[in-house]
Amino acid sequence: MYELLTGSPPFSGPDPMKTYNIILRGIDMIEFPKKIAKNAANLIKKLCRDNPSERLGNLKNGVKDIQKHKWFEGFNWEGLRKGTLTPPIVPSVASPTDTSNFDSFPEDNDEPPPDDNSGWDIDF
């Protein structure tokens, strides 16, 4: 959820060891960008508790605690369940193979890795 709202993961550092140490410090040590609403930050922190017995959704009321959180206020859970929600954006698509709504990337010209002929993958 953090990454969807910010475009980057909550736990990241310049190298794997620093990232690992940031993870160990926990979600409460993460500084949330100002663009994240307080209700969203609160929900993320409650979903990311270290101790599963303190984690929202894993308490007595289960998923209902998540659904009743202020960040979801006004959300149509029944519409989600029934599949009747209206999407906020409906892209125009010319055909089943139309990729015009996706970013363009250069062609991947890398050769596949060589087979070591050891047979390790024979059962696949």
Q: Give tens-digit pLDDT for 43-97.
A: 999 999 999 999 999 999 999 999 999 999 999 999 999 999 999 999 999 999 9
With contact defined as beta carbons under 8 Å apart, do 27 and 44 qualify?
Answer: yes
SS3 70: helix
DSSP for residue 26: -
Question: CA 58, CA 63: separation in Å to the nearest integer?
Answer: 7
Prediction pTM value: 0.72
Query: Distance (Å, rounded) from C-alpha 26 to C-alpha 48?
Result: 8
- When pLDDT is cut at 50, 70 and 90, the band that residue 38 belongs to is very high
Q: How many domains does the chain have?
A: 1
Residue 40 lies in a domain: yes
The rounded percent of the chain whose pLDDT value lies above 70 is: 100
Asked if the structure places residue 100 within a domain, the reply is no
Beta-carbon contacts of residue 66 (< 8 Å; ≥ 6 apart)? 43, 47, 56, 57, 72
Q: Residue 102 domain-assigned?
A: no
